[in-house]
Amino acid sequence: MRISDLLTQYIMEMMEEEGNAEIRRNELADRFGCVPSQINYVITSRFTPEQGYIVESRRGGGGYIRISRIRGDKSATLMHIINSIGTELDNITAQIMIKNLQSGSIISNEESRLMLSAGSDRSLALVPPSLRDKVRASIFKNMLLSII
């Protein structure tokens, strides 16, 4: 198993036990025998708002990184995701977000299939490639708003 997978698993286990994971980057790097930048990579690639996580950090000697799963009612979760999207959304990120929403029971299987179809590159084939991510973000946001 790769070090990134081990770190992810460790953080996920901490979150299951305590509801969130509060880590100190250097201590975690020492524990797993890796460089602190590896911790950064795992956090920035596997614990994103699009994947349903909130990451807070405090710098300094007593600094920490706190990772928690987005919780709350359906509307609050959807609004958090809508606000995190920005003006562009690539197809892969949209797919990940939709699958996370479905697995978290925020959207139904049918809603998931419709959203995947509406935002696919195939559906957006007539849109110039340079504009697809902007159009996809707009479609995705509006679909989420209609679910609220």
The whole-number pLDDT of residue 130 equals 96
- Asked if pLDDT for residue 63 goes beyond 90, the answer is no
Q: Which tokens sit at 83?
A: 């606000």
Region 21-47 average pLDDT: 90
Task: Name the CATH architecture for the domain at 74-147.
Answer: Orthogonal Bundle (1.10)
pLDDT band of residue 72 (cuts 50, 70, 90) is: low
The whole-number pLDDT of residue 132 equals 97
Backbone dihedral angles phi then psi of residue 68, each to the nearest 5 degrees: -140, 155
Mean pLDDT value across the chain? 88
* 96-131 residues labelled b (16+ CB within 10 A) or e (exposed): ebbebbbeeebbeeebbeebbeebeeeebeeeeeee
Report domain extents, the chain: 3-69, 74-147
The whole-number pLDDT of residue 51 equals 74
- Asked if pLDDT for residue 60 goes beyond 80, the answer is no
Region 36-52 average pLDDT: 84
pTM over 0.85: no
Looking at domain 3-69, its CATH superfamily turns out to be Transcriptional regulator CtsR, winged HTH domain (3.30.56.130)
- Answer whether 96's CB lies under 8 Å from 51's CB: yes
pLDDT tens for 90-102 read 999 899 889 888 8
The single-letter DSSP state of residue 50 is G
- Asked if pLDDT for residue 110 goes beyond 70, the answer is yes
Region 31-38 average pLDDT: 90
The whole-number pLDDT of residue 119 equals 95
- Asked if pLDDT for residue 61 goes beyond 70, the answer is no
